[in-house]
Structure formats: C-alpha cells, structure tokens
Structure 1
Amino acid sequence: MNNIHVIHALLAAALFGASTPFAKLLVGEMSPWLLAGLLYLGSGLGLTAVRLVRDRGWTQSGLASVDWPWLLGAILFGGVAGPLALMFGLTRTTGATASLLLNLEAVLTAVIAWGVFRENADRRIVLGMLAIVAGGVVLSWSGIGAGTDDWLGALAIVGACLCWAIDNNLTRRVSASDALFVAAAKGVAAGSVNVGLAFVLGASLPAGPVLLGTLAVGLLGYGISLVLFVLALRGLGTARTGAYFSTAPFIGAAVSLLLLGESTSTAFWIAAALMAFGVWLHLTEHHEHAHVHEPMEHSHRHVHDAHHQHVHPFPWAGDEPHAHWHRHERLVHKHPHFPDIHHRHSH
C-alpha cells in the first residue's frame, strides 16, 4: 500500500496543529469571530490564487452534478455551523475543557464512517485510533477544572465536533475531484460567512501587518492543510485520515514548546507515546483479501496501474499522471489496500 497518503494526513495534522499556537498569538489582536473568519478567508483566497496560477486562468471545478450537494453540505457543517458552535462553546467553557472535548471529532468521524458509510475497520485500526485519541485526552486533562464550565458550552463544543465529523465524511465523497478547488471553495464560503458575522457583531479589521499575518496562517494551517487532508481522504478513507489528523493537538503542543517557551510535563510525554503507538498500529496495518470492483465512472489524477487499464477517446501523449473522466470495468483481484476511492466495497 502506498504510504504517500499517510504522509499527506500527517502533514495536514502538522500544519493545522502548528497553526494553533500562532492563532493563540493573534487572538488578542481581534475578536474570536473575526479571527476564525480571516483564517478561513486566507485559506480560500490563497488557494484560489494558487489554482489560478496552476491552471493559467479560471477553469471549471470538474465536479459532477451529483457531487455538489456533498460539497455544499461539507461547507455548511464544517465551515459555518462548526465554527459557530465552537465560538459559542468557548464563551462558556475553559480552554482545557474545550481541548479535551475536541478530541471527540476523531471518534465521531470514525463512528459515522463505520456506521453510516460502512467503511471497513479492523481491530488494529480501532485500537490505533483509540490510542491517538487517548493521547489527546491525556494532553489536555491536566488543565481541567480551571475556570467555569457549564453543560450548554460543553454541548456546543460536542456539536462542533459532530459538525466537523459530518464535514469529514461528506468531503470524502468529493475527494476524487480537484483538492485545490474543494479546499478553496470551503475557505472562501466559510471565511465570508464568519467575517460577515464578526462585522455584524461590531468587529473591525486589525492593522495591516496583523491582517496579513492572519491570512498567511490561514493559508498554511487551514488551506494547504485541507488540501493535504482531502488527498489523504482520497487514499486512506475517512476513519484512518481522521485518526492520523487527530495527532494535531500533540503537534500544536510541541510547536508551543518552541514558539511560546512552554515547559513539558509528564502528561505531554505520555500523550506522545500513546499517539506514536497509535500511528505505528496504522502504519503497520496489512489489509488484503480478494475483492470485487464494480463498474464505475469518475475523474481524478491517475496513472495506468492495475486499476486504470482504459483506453482514451482522445489523443494522449503518454503523460503520467493525468486526469480525465474514465470508466472502470468490473474487476476481481487481491492485493493490500486501504478504503480509498477505488476500494469502498463491503466485507
């Protein structure tokens, strides 16, 4: 199995996790609503610019008509409802409690993937995910009890986790399409809504250097991270990608040690060991059995491997990889595989 998708997932977690300490430095410069909106907007505008340069102008999204409801649902749940629920929850809970509850995202993502979308998971994957989530719990546990929490704030944060879990599963449905477009669309839509709400609540833009810094953090920590996340979804499936991505809190804490000069604790190293163990369980997974590929049609970047033995109805110079609409005929074979876009079969 190709571990490039594992690298995509871990890099996505690294960028997102590293963005948190930088966002912490910025939160005193503007309202949380505006900060969330500008981070998303920096992501969307930056990726749109990258896509324009890559394609030498504006090009069609490449999404099929059946894909748009999935993307719009992902934007609604992940880019609008999730941040709104989180911001409300943060006003009624401590940061430590919020950090602990946010670890539910990986669990809920996996539960929806397994229960609703019937994604395969064996015992090794379940144990690995639990170890990674346990690491996140340990990492934030020591701060519980400092401040005032209420059930409504906690419920709002759980709701935010549910929104992002739904977002992750819906995004998987469009992960075969252009990852840059998917991530840019989510960033522009979510950023516009949240910045608009911040202005309605009386926020104003920060000074130029702070504004540019916020947009840059958003491009790296939310934009490029999301592109890598979509690529990981394409190759690993939702539950595994969510598990790898849940290492982000540990990465954020590690960056904080260097950036903010924070000290380590016993809990930090216990969390590191648990997360490393969980990642090792996933990296050493071996899932192989005879399986059936039913006929399907879609478009994505590919090479002519065992799953892509089609002819081209147009002149083709032999360039690899390349993208176009293509058809998969029925195929029965056996090899190690992840629940990627070509392996969504039942077991």
Structure 2
Amino acid sequence: MQIRPNAAWTALLAAALFGATTPFAKLLLGTLSPFMLAGLFYLGSGVGLALVLVVRRLARPHDAREHSPQMQATEVPWQAGAILAGGVAGPALLMLGLSSTPAATGALLLNLEGVFTALIAWVVFRENVDLNVLLGMVAIVAGGVLLSWQTGPDGLPAGAVLVAGACLCWAVDNNLTRKVSTNDAVVIACLKGLVAGPVNFGIALWLGARLPAANQVAKAMLTGFAGYGVSLVLFVVALRNLGTARTGAYFSVAPLFGVILSIAIWPAMPSVFFWCAGALMALGIWLHLREHHAHAHTHEPMEHAHRHSHDEHHQHEHDFDWDGSEPHTHSHSHAQMLHTHAHYPDVHHQHVH
C-alpha cells in the first residue's frame, strides 16, 4: 500500500507528543495526586484548544470556504462515550498505575493501546484486517506480556494491570472517536478536555487533594495541552485517513519516545526482559508498515462533511461561492463509484471484504 505521507506523519507526531507525557507525568506524580494530575492535563488540553479556537475564529471571521455543520445528534452518544472512557477512566488508571510502575516500563506498556484499538475495530466495528497487521499485533502483545510479567509470589504487578486498563479505555475511546472524526478535530479534542478536566479535578478534591502551587499547575497544564490536546487533534485527523486499527498501529510508536525520554531523565541499564519486549514491539510496528491492501471496491452513495481537496473521491459541485481554494470544508455528496487502488479503511472506504 502506498502510505499517505501526511496521514502517516500526522499519526507519528501525535504518538511522539503523547509518548513524551509519560515520563513527565512520572515526574509530576511526586507532588500531585493521580486524579489531580489527570485533571490538570485535560484542563490544559481543553483550555489551550479553546484559545486556539478563539484565535482561529478571530483570524478568519468571514472565511467563506468553511461551511462545517454542527455535530449531529446521532453523534453525541459516541462523543460522550469517548470522553467517559478516554477522558475520565483512562487517565485516572494510567496515573494510578504509574505511581507504582517504572516510567520506562509504563511507556512500553502503552503499546497495548494499539492492540486493543485494533481488536475492537476488527471484532466490533468490522474493520478489515490484513496478515501483517495481525502478526504485528501478536508481536506487540507478546512484548507487553513479557514486559509486565514478574516471577515471584506477587505475580502480575498491580501497576502494570492498571496501565493496561488505561490502554483498554483509550482503545474504546479511539473507536468511538472514529465515529465523529469527520467533525472539527480541534472541537472534538477541546470538548474532551473541558469535560474530563473538571471531572478528574473534582474527584481529586473530593478525595482530599489540595490545590497545587501555581508553577506545578502551569507545568501540568502545558504538558496536557501538548501531550493530550495537540496529540488528540492530530490523532483524530489520522483516524479520518488511516482508519482506527492502522492509526492505532502507528500510534504504537508512542512508548518508544517515552522510553527514550525516561532513560534520559533516569539513566539506568534496563533488564534483558525490557530489551526483548522492546524488540518484539519494534517487530510489530515494522510488520504494520509493510502492510499492502488494494482491490476493486465500490463506494456506496453517502453524504458527510470534512476537510478535503477535489481528488478522485471528491468530484462535486458547490452550492455556495467558492474561490477555488483547497482544502476546504463543507457538506458534500458522493455518488456510487467502482474502482481499484491501494487504500486504508478511511472515512471513504468502509466497505465489506
């Protein structure tokens, strides 16, 4: 398959920003409670992206190219479920898990998010699966198990289980977010931050946490803006173009950025199990990159709105004044089409195999 460079790089940049938050979260957990930190991360994301929306609106108040509809009523449950799973449960489990798990180990365990994302996409939402992607997921799972499992009377560490639980929550979030990914990515991410932030912050206060110092608040919110806010915006854009499982596969490189940063902050020689797990996960990512998927397929008639250029899938007329600028956003219809090309299960390729 010919990789779409922009989509691939978008997913990888999202992964880099998110992966870097793990060691920073570990540093901040020394002075902030898990729920307080999760709340500040999402508050930073929501408030920061809200400011981006304000600046964007002021910069182009009468932009005739933008005709984005509001989120449809049928999409609200998907967005609400994504916020609950990924914005409330996920970060809380991660912070609790990191409080008893080494930062490098926690970073690599986050590879499980891609696995769980793909499994839900394949089993529940019937997204197609190719052999390379399947084998890659098997390798990543094996690496996660090897990394997490400890011999001795205590068995599987509780911290690792909590981090894995966070990955499952984010996998549910990813699949639900796919259902609303044609909407404005900044708005989607902003809503999650503005809802999840106060919820986690309120839980922290209810459990007895005290308000942190101003400099700690600033550090946490800035980290959240980049690692949760900007990262999520990029992730949603990648979902449109790559599909859920493939975006999850690219996102699996996130822990590698976290591991590198963790080792730089806490210099130490990792164990042999760590390197074996890392090798298995790297093999899984390599297998994902080798995927090839092309066949004759039919596009059924559909109507939706998203940012697009007039490529082979977008040959339509406009019912508004258009100056020819691309890309642009508006509601548009697709007629039925039969053709063959390499493709991902993006918003235009939801066909049965």
Structure 2 length normalisation: TM-score? 0.87
1:68–1:35 CA distance, 2 compared to 1 (3 A):
same
Residue matched to 1:81 = 89
Partner of residue 41, structure 2: 39
CA distance in 1, matches of 2:153, 2:23: 21
Q: Decide which of 232, 242, 252 is 2:258's aligned counterpart.
A: 252
1:218 and 1:262, CA in 2 relative to 1: closer, same or farther beyond 3 A? farther
What does residue 71 of structure 1 align with? 79
Between 28-37 and 302-311, report the one with greater CA deviation: 28-37
- The answer for the alignment partner of 1:54 in structure 2 is 56
Q: How far apart are the structure 1 equivalents of 2:206 and 2:131? A: 49
Match of 1:131 among 129, 139, 142: 139
Letter in 2 for 1:54: R
Following the alignment from structure 1 to structure 2, what is the Cα–Cα distance between the partners of residues 15 and 310? 36
Task: State percent identity of aligned pairs.
Answer: 57
For the residues of structure 2 that align with 1:147 and 1:75, how far apart are their CA atoms? Answer: 37
> Against the structure 1 CA distance between its residues 257 and 157, is the aligned structure 2 distance closer, same or farther, given a 3 Å change threshold?
closer
Q: How do 1:1-347 residues align onto structure 2 when only pairs under 5 Å count? A: 1=2, 2-56=4-58, 62-86=70-94, 103-138=111-146, 140-141=147-148, 144=150, 159-347=165-353
CA separation in 1, counterparts of 2:230 and 2:276? 29
Contact preservation (8 Å) 1:94, 1:149: no
Indicate if the aligned counterparts of 1:132 and 1:247 stay in contact, CA closer than 8 A. no
Write out per-residue CA displacement over residues 259-314 of structure 1, whole angstroms, 9 at most, x where no aligned residue: 33333554454444434433332223221111011111111110000000000001
Task: Quote the offset at 1:81 in angstroms.
Answer: 2.7
- Residues 237 and 147 of structure 1, relative CA distance in 2, 3 Å threshold: farther
SS in 2 for 1:333: strand
SS of 2:333's equivalent in the other structure is strand
Letter of the structure 1 residue corresponding to residue 199 of structure 2: V
Distance of 1:9 and 1:149 partners within structure 2: 35
Q: Distance in 2 between matches of 1:340 and 1:291?
A: 13
Structure 2, unaligned stretches of length 5 or more? none
Residue by residue over 1:208-236, the C-alpha shift from the partner in whole angstroms, topping out at 9 and shown as x without a partner, is 11211111111111111111111111111
Partners of 2:69 and 2:331 within 8 A in 1: no
Q: CA deviation at 1:258?
A: 2.0
Q: Which amino acid is 2:19 matched to? A: G
What letter corresponds to residue 81 of structure 1 in structure 2? A
Deviations 1:119-171 (A, max 9, x none): 01110111123334444445x348x3599678987766554433222111000
CA distance change for structure 1 residues 166 and 129 in 2, over 3 Å: closer, same or farther? same
C-alpha distance in 2 between matches for 1:79 and 1:118: 25
In the superposition, relative to structure 1, how do residues 137 and 231 fare at CA in structure 2: closer, same or farther (>3 Å)?
Answer: farther
1:17 Cα deviation after fit? 0.9
- What letter corresponds to residue 81 of structure 2 in structure 1? G
Distance 1:79 1:202, change over 3 A: same
The separation in 2 between residues aligned to 1:15 and 1:100, in whole angstroms, is 15
Cα distance in 2 for residues equivalent to 1:3 and 1:278: 20
Segments of 5+ residues of structure 1 without an aligned counterpart are none
Amino acid at match of 1:25: L
8 Å contact 1:132–1:243 — kept in the other structure?
Answer: no
Moved more, 252-261 or 270-279: 270-279
Distance 1:157 1:312 in 2: 48
RMSD: 2.8
Aligned residue identity for 2:345 = P
Question: How far, CA to CA, are the matches of 1:223 and 1:343 in structure 2?
Answer: 27
Q: Secondary structure at the match of 2:30?
A: helix
Q: 1:66 aligns to what SS in structure 2?
A: helix
Alignment partners' CA distance in 2, 1:137 and 1:252: 18
TM-score normalised by the chain length of structure 1: 0.89
